[in-house]
A and B are shown apart, each in its own frame.
Chain A
Amino acid sequence: MHKLLARQIAKATNEAGSVDLEKLFALIADAYADVDRDRRRTDRSMSLMIEEIDTVQRNLQRTVIERTKELRERDAELQAQNMRFAAAISHMSQGLVMFDSQTRLVICNQRFLAMYGLEADGIRPGHTLRHLLERRIANGTISCDAEHYADNVWAMVKAGKPTTRFIELNDGRTIAIDNQPMPGGGWVSTHEDVTERRQAEMKIAHMARHDALTGLPNRVLLRERLNEALAHVHRGQRLAVHYLDLDLFKNVNDSLGHPAGDELLRMVAERLCCCVRDTDTVCRVGGDEFFIIQADIGDITDAEHLARRIAEAVKTPYALHSQQVVIDVSIGVAIGPADGTDADQLLKNADMAMYGAKAAGRGVYRFFESKMDARMRERRTLELALRNAFDNGEFELQYQPILNLDTGGVQCCEALLRWHHPERGLVPPAEFVPIAEEVGLIVPLGEWVIRQACADAAQWAGDACVAVNLSPTQLINKNLLPAVLDALASAQLSADRLELEITEAVLMQNSEVTLRVLHQLRALGIQVSMDDFGTGYSSLSYLRSFPFDKIKIDRCFIKGLGQSSESDAIVSAVVGLANSLNMTTTAEGVETREQLDLVRRLGCTDAQGFFYSPPVSSRELSMMFTKRRKVSFAAA
């Protein structure tokens, strides 16, 4: 019997043992109903579940179809991307190689293989970095310990930071290798041949520290070398810094042109290099300025010897464009560490010493002295004042008459430039003319002198000439001729009343240009005289090269007249020479009657000096002319 039925019968049976059938049937009916409900519920839930699962399955199928389509499309897109990627990689200008986290090759492009002379057949994905290196060692593109190299690369990749390094191949190529770690532990490397770039960079680096014209170190490298040298100066040791400035180099550029100037600088550079030891450094820091670092000198005399050698080497004449050119150099020397423990101080002091050399008359060397600093400041002040003096009308011309020893009349008056400084009073020309030369004021100042002298002469009674000194710079200036013509025209002065005085130094430099200009001036009727004859080279060839109208015999010979037989002989010889060349002679610096008598006896045609008259103003001169017009000095 089913245990439920047994239970129902037991439940329907009373304590007396009789079965309550009605109760039993009700229980049975309830049980049937329970079963029916359960069956219906089960059926319903099963069909709903099937429906739901069916829906889920349909959705799943639809999703699968959609996802499959998407995946196919993505697959196609990936394939296309892969093709584009492969094309891009194979056309890269850099070599590209990718390794996995086990240092095994994943991919590399053709450029990578070609760069290291590797055969595509011998390199396959899965090969290790070490294998690739061994192949490269075998074909000679690299020399290294493959294991050590691979370990180094791996250590850098493991550190997780991108790295760039440069390697030199055995054939001289430089390769830049950029390692970029990837998520997951591998890395990608790009290899670029940067040989040309590196060479260009090195060239640029060289250019940045060297002078293009001479190839010498420039100011940048000068400082580096000087700092280095100073760092190595030990107790008791010294070094010297020589600052060289070519004297009147500008004149070479102006007269012969810049190419000739550049050529001269190259020649100077070569000579300088020949003067120094390998341990010394020659630098060019600007137009005509050079520095020499003389390392590790034992004694100051070492520096002195070098300065002398330099001066000699530089002043030896140059054959430039089939002309002979002579140039001097002014040298300033500073000694480290005594004159400065840092580069700035040493360079500054060498600069100051060089200006000391310039002031001392050029072509010489000077060692730095502490008082130079004060002198330099004074000079700068003067330079500033000189620039203002022109605008402020502080210049004045005075004239010293030149006496004709035959007629006793004033043949000519030499214009002498005077500067009345508002505070310092009268500044001697020897002090300010060199500055005017250096700062470029000499040309406008010289033009003013010519113009003023012509204007003054036009006011004088009579026909006395006015003599004006020309500096070498003026003579090679292209504007000289127009300026002279303009001055004559403005003053309405006849050209034969203007006399220009030049020194030997003018002819020593660029004589061809100078001679051409002198001839042009003389063709206008202007007289040209040789000033201070006897003080320079006194080369007779100069007298032959140009038909001077007059030779002015320097005061040093006149001063010795009657005291030294050499002076008498020289004056006599010059007079003889002048006569034979059809030139007149003027004795300069005649201060006594005895000197006057002597120069007259020796045959000089003219005399100039304090004995007759000191320099006077144009106004005083005019008065003198008016007063003494009729007076003969022949008896004087």
Chain B
Amino acid sequence: MRAQHIVWNGQSGWRTKGEVGDPSLVLYFGTREALACGRRHEELRAMYPAAHVLGCSTGGQINNNDIGDDEIVAAAVSFAATKLRLCRQEICDAHRSRDFGEALGRALHADDLAGVFVLSDGLNVNGSELVAGISKTIGPDVPLTGGLAGDGANFQETLIGADCAPRTCIIAGVGFYGRAIRVGHGSAGGWDLFGPRRQVTRSVGNVLYELDGEPALDLYERYLGPDESKGLPGSALLFPIQVYDLQRPDSAVVRTVLAIDRDKRSMTFAGDVPQGWTAQLMRGNLDRLAAGAADAARQARSGFDAKHGDPCLSILISCIGRRLLMGQRTIDEIEAAGAELGPDTLRLGFYSYGEISPHAKSRLCELHNQTMTITAFAEAA
């Protein structure tokens, strides 16, 4: 397996670093503004005519130890023994996210399926349902990782390109087949719980109406203050929420806000917020968020034998909420993760509206929010 590092910017166009041979997959990440015209896709298509080309819009791109908003980062990857299949599915109704997930999973399923990497529209989908649908059809033993596309802090429109020009309302997955491929994964948050525990007193799916009988949006506006409230829904990412079933503390997941409805005083999250569950606000501490990223990297790396060296390629998908909170210090988490993954792995990624990875404890694949989620790839010799 080999990976070629590719970067595009307005001044220099596409620049590549390293040799890749005959790549079968190109992954790319860029801002919505940079991708929306579709030319970048065509250029990549022309550069790597035999490869599947998969990418998405972001809330910022991770480029080894740097974070940029102007460049497009990409990797062309060739495999020695691993076969790939790329499938995509149009999403016409977010309420049928599970059905679309099942359809995608069925399209990718095969006996020798060894891993699935998924990119999804970040706004027009219920991520929890989507992941549940894919997991159901590919089975619990196939690692499923990936993320939901981003749109900076704008929450307007997210794009997916999967052997097509990037556009909205798409989910796409690439399946890795055969016994050679190694997929490592890790996911961690590092957020601190704070404030009283609250009960989800009214919710429908991923729309939260009330906590302890009080409109959820009132609570967020109070905590954000009048200035930052203007930045909703993006500013709500500063206070993610952890929800769990009191009877099953293992069920704890972090949820991040995708949209708000000021009239209904409701908030729409990237995954379900079940009624009756317990919720608690979270806040970030820069050091502990960076430590969380390092933890995710350790988990991803743990699947690789030290004698085989560093993974060839690591895809880092971190939540936009982390970047909004950490500002210029966001690089701290990139560096922390990079230190764990090792110097020989190409580290690319993006800031997302949701992360997909097996749960660190339950091993069940879930949608995460406000985490750093890392997928590391290598191919056995």
Partner of B329 from the list A34, A40, A41, A48 (CB cut-off 8 Å) is A34
Kindly provide the distance from the CB of A137 to the nearest chain B CB, expressed in whole angstroms.
54
Given A44-B225, A45-B223, A45-B283: A7 and B331 interface contact (C-beta under 8 Å): yes
Quick check: is B196 within 8 A (CB to CB) of the other chain? yes
Quick check: is B327 within 8 A (CB to CB) of the other chain? yes
CA distance A42 to B195 in the complex (A): 12
Q: Which residues of B contact A38 (CB under 8 A)?
A: 325, 327
Given A41-B228, A41-B238, A44-B225: A49 and B195 interface contact (C-beta under 8 Å): yes
Q: Which residues of A contact B329 (CB under 8 A)?
A: 4, 34
Q: Which residues of B contact A40 (CB under 8 A)?
A: 225
Q: Which residues of B contact A56 (CB under 8 A)?
A: 196
Interface string of A24-53 (1 = CB under 8 A from B): 000100110010011011101100110011
Kindly provide the distance from the CB of A180 to the nearest chain B CB, expressed in whole angstroms.
36
Kindly provide the distance from the CB of B196 to the nearest chain A CB, expressed in whole angstroms.
5
Known: A27-B328, A48-B223. 7 other contacts (CB 8 A): A4-B329, A30-B327, A34-B328, A42-B283, A45-B223, A49-B195, A56-B196
A-B pair number, CB within 8 angstroms: 40
Q: Which residues of A contact B239 (CB under 8 A)?
A: 45
Given A41-B228, A44-B225: A8 and B195 interface contact (C-beta under 8 Å): no
Q: Which residues of B contact A49 (CB under 8 A)?
A: 194-196
Check A52 against B196 for contact (C-beta < 8 Å).
yes
Kindly provide the distance from the CB of B312 to the nearest chain A CB, expressed in whole angstroms.
27
Check B328 against A8 for contact (C-beta < 8 Å).
yes
Q: Which residues of B contact A44 (CB under 8 A)?
A: 223, 225
Quick check: is B248 within 8 A (CB to CB) of the other chain? no
Q: Can you offer 24 A-B residue contacts whose CB atoms are under 8 A?
A: A4-B328, A7-B328, A7-B331, A8-B328, A30-B327, A31-B327, A34-B327, A34-B328, A37-B228, A38-B325, A38-B327, A40-B225, A41-B228, A44-B225, A45-B195, A45-B223, A45-B239, A45-B283, A49-B194, A49-B196, A52-B196, A53-B195, A53-B196, A56-B196
CB within 8 Å of B: which residues of A? 4, 7-8, 27, 30-31, 34, 37-38, 40-42, 44-45, 48-49, 52-53, 56
Closest to A7 in B: B331
Interface size on B, residues (CB 8 A): 16
CA distance A49 to B283 in the complex (A): 12
Kindly provide the distance from the CB of B241 to the nearest chain A CB, expressed in whole angstroms.
13
Quick check: is B361 within 8 A (CB to CB) of the other chain? no
Kindly provide the distance from the CB of A184 to the nearest chain B CB, expressed in whole angstroms.
26
CB within 8 Å of A: which residues of B? 194-196, 222-225, 228, 238-239, 283, 325, 327-329, 331
CA distance A41 to B239 in the complex (A): 10
Kindly provide the distance from the CB of A41 to the nearest chain B CB, expressed in whole angstroms.
7
Kindly provide the distance from the CB of B68 to the nearest chain A CB, expressed in whole angstroms.
11
CA distance A120 to B329 in the complex (A): 81
Q: Which residues of B contact A30 (CB under 8 A)?
A: 327-328
Instruction: Indicate the member of A40, A42, A48 with the most B CB atoms within 10 Å.
Output: A48
CA distance A49 to B222 in the complex (A): 11
Instruction: Indicate the member of A31, A34, A56 with the most B CB atoms within 10 Å.
Output: A34
Kindly provide the distance from the CB of B70 to the nearest chain A CB, expressed in whole angstroms.
13
Please report whether the interface of chain B is mostly helix, strand, loop or mixed according to DSSP: helix
Check A31 against B328 for contact (C-beta < 8 Å).
yes
Q: Which residues of A contact B325 (CB under 8 A)?
A: 38
Closest to B228 in A: A41
Check A45 against B328 for contact (C-beta < 8 Å).
no
Instruction: Indicate the member of A40, A52, A56 with the most B CB atoms within 10 Å.
Output: A52
CA distance A53 to B283 in the complex (A): 16
Instruction: Indicate the member of A41, A44, A48 with the most B CB atoms within 10 Å.
Output: A41
Closest to A33 in B: B327
Kindly provide the distance from the CB of A338 to the nearest chain B CB, expressed in whole angstroms.
84
Closest to A34 in B: B327
Q: Which residues of A contact B331 (CB under 8 A)?
A: 7
Enumerate the 7 nearest inter-chain pairs by beta-carbon distance, A residue then B residue, closest first: A34-B327, A49-B195, A31-B328, A56-B196, A44-B225, A45-B223, A52-B196
Closest to B328 in A: A31
Closest to A44 in B: B225
Instruction: Indicate the member of A30, A37, A38 with the most B CB atoms within 10 Å.
Output: A38
CA distance A250 to B325 in the complex (A): 122
CA distance A37 to B238 in the complex (A): 11
Kindly provide the distance from the CB of B285 to the nearest chain A CB, expressed in whole angstroms.
9
CA distance A41 to B231 in the complex (A): 14
CA distance A31 to B196 in the complex (A): 31
CA distance A41 to B286 in the complex (A): 14
Check A45 against B194 for contact (C-beta < 8 Å).
yes
CA distance A38 to B286 in the complex (A): 10
Closest to B239 in A: A45
Closest to B238 in A: A41
CA distance A37 to B331 in the complex (A): 18
Kindly provide the distance from the CB of B223 to the nearest chain A CB, expressed in whole angstroms.
6
CA distance A4 to B283 in the complex (A): 22
CA distance A5 to B31 in the complex (A): 27
Closest to A49 in B: B195
Check A52 against B195 for contact (C-beta < 8 Å).
yes
Kindly provide the distance from the CB of B275 to the nearest chain A CB, expressed in whole angstroms.
22
Q: Which residues of B contact A8 (CB under 8 A)?
A: 328
CA distance A49 to B280 in the complex (A): 12
Q: Which residues of A contact B328 (CB under 8 A)?
A: 4, 7-8, 27, 30-31, 34
CA distance A31 to B326 in the complex (A): 10
Closest to B335 in A: A3
CA distance A31 to B239 in the complex (A): 20
CA distance A37 to B324 in the complex (A): 11
CA distance A607 to B338 in the complex (A): 162
CA distance A44 to B226 in the complex (A): 11
Closest to A28 in B: B328
CA distance A52 to B198 in the complex (A): 11
Kindly provide the distance from the CB of B291 to the nearest chain A CB, expressed in whole angstroms.
16
CA distance A30 to B327 in the complex (A): 9
Kindly provide the distance from the CB of A564 to the nearest chain B CB, expressed in whole angstroms.
125
CA distance A31 to B330 in the complex (A): 11
Q: Which residues of B contact A27 (CB under 8 A)?
A: 328
Kindly provide the distance from the CB of A63 to the nearest chain B CB, expressed in whole angstroms.
14
CA distance A92 to B329 in the complex (A): 82
Closest to B327 in A: A34
Kindly provide the distance from the CB of B236 to the nearest chain A CB, expressed in whole angstroms.
12
Instruction: Indicate the member of B195, B238, B239, B328 with the most A CB atoms within 10 Å.
Output: B328
Q: Which residues of A contact B224 (CB under 8 A)?
A: 41
Kindly provide the distance from the CB of A11 to the nearest chain B CB, expressed in whole angstroms.
9
Kindly provide the distance from the CB of B137 to the nearest chain A CB, expressed in whole angstroms.
42
Q: Which residues of B contact A45 (CB under 8 A)?
A: 194-195, 223, 239, 283
Closest to A55 in B: B196
CA distance A34 to B224 in the complex (A): 15
Q: Which residues of A contact B283 (CB under 8 A)?
A: 42, 45
CA distance A30 to B329 in the complex (A): 11
Q: Which residues of A contact B194 (CB under 8 A)?
A: 45, 49
CA distance A44 to B238 in the complex (A): 13
Kindly provide the distance from the CB of A24 to the nearest chain B CB, expressed in whole angstroms.
12
Q: Which residues of A contact B196 (CB under 8 A)?
A: 49, 52-53, 56
CA distance A4 to B239 in the complex (A): 24
CA distance A44 to B239 in the complex (A): 12
Check B222 against A48 for contact (C-beta < 8 Å).
yes
CA distance A7 to B326 in the complex (A): 15
Q: Which residues of B contact A53 (CB under 8 A)?
A: 195-196
Q: Which residues of B contact A34 (CB under 8 A)?
A: 327-329
Kindly provide the distance from the CB of A23 to the nearest chain B CB, expressed in whole angstroms.
13
Q: Which residues of B contact A42 (CB under 8 A)?
A: 283
CA distance A48 to B281 in the complex (A): 12
Kindly provide the distance from the CB of B326 to the nearest chain A CB, expressed in whole angstroms.
8
CA distance A45 to B228 in the complex (A): 12
CA distance A14 to B333 in the complex (A): 25
CA distance A205 to B52 in the complex (A): 102
Kindly provide the distance from the CB of A497 to the nearest chain B CB, expressed in whole angstroms.
119
Kindly provide the distance from the CB of A432 to the nearest chain B CB, expressed in whole angstroms.
99
Kindly provide the distance from the CB of B69 to the nearest chain A CB, expressed in whole angstroms.
13
Kindly provide the distance from the CB of B24 to the nearest chain A CB, expressed in whole angstroms.
35
CA distance A37 to B329 in the complex (A): 13
